[in-house]
Structure 1
Amino acid sequence: MLIRIVRMTFQEDKTAEFLELFRQTKDSIRAFEGCNHVELLQDMDQPNVYSTYSLWDSENDLNNYRHSALFGTVWKATKALFADKPQAWSMQRIEVMPQPKSPSIH
């Protein structure tokens, strides 16, 4: 499993345009082979900074998406809205902490 995080800083007057673009394309991205999850996060202190968090079966699946026509279209439209260079990280899980069990009510 590959975790991909992309941090993007948008021109403040372009965030609504980005959100609409994300809403229009998120289902197609999620449906791409090898993609298991996509979510959009917003920075708590900088409302024009967003990150995507996605889960992929493999680096090969992510690269297939990154070389697809879908990515080319989405990324070109997204890049036009940037105020700063994006940052991206690919990671893998090492350890997951289990959820604590709720105490039983007697």
Structure 2
Amino acid sequence: MQFHQEYITTFSAIFEEKKKAISASKGCQLLELYQDKNNPEIFFTYSYWNTTDDLEQYRKSELFTGVWTKIKVMFNAKPEAWSVDKKVCLP
């Protein structure tokens, strides 16, 4: 996600406020937020879900739609999302 500079603090506050509720969603095993080192307007969330259905239920939830409605007006570029399969995990 890429935000207009003036919304970075607002987005960060929204994430901080909602992170426990998001991570408590059914099937969410991990939720992390990353900020690009070279461009502070770019953020990534990384989450791990038990099943694709759990993720889809979250995406259809009131929690997600409420957060999305607040942050989508802050973007300065089209957001992107990927679902991936883990291929290698090193200790």
TM > 0.5 between the two?
A: yes
Match of 1:21 in 2: 14
Q: Which structure's residues are more often strand, by fraction?
A: 1
The superposition leaves residues 11-60 of structure 1 with CA deviations (integer Å, 9 ceiling, x where unpaired) of: 00110000000000000000000001101000011001100000000110
Q: 1:59 aligns with which of 30, 33, 52?
A: 52
Does residue 72 (structure 1) correspond to residue 44 (structure 2)? The answer is no
Q: Distance in 2 between matches of 1:84 and 1:27?
A: 27
| Aligned-residue RMSD, C-alpha | 0.7
Structure possessing the higher relative contact order (Cα contacts under 8 Å, 6 or more residues apart) = 1
Does residue 45 (structure 1) correspond to residue 30 (structure 2)? The answer is no
Point out the structure with max Rg over C-alpha. 1
TM score, norm. by length of structure 1: 0.84
Match of 1:103 in 2: none
Superposition deviation, residue 94 in structure 1: 1.4
Structure 2 SS opposite 1:86: coil
TM score, norm. by length of structure 2: 0.97
Structure 2 SS opposite 1:87: coil
- What runs of 5+ residues in structure 2 fail to find an aligned partner? none
Q: Give the letter aligned to residue 59 of structure 2.
A: R
- What runs of 5+ residues in structure 1 fail to find an aligned partner? 1-7, 99-106
Match of 1:101 in 2: none
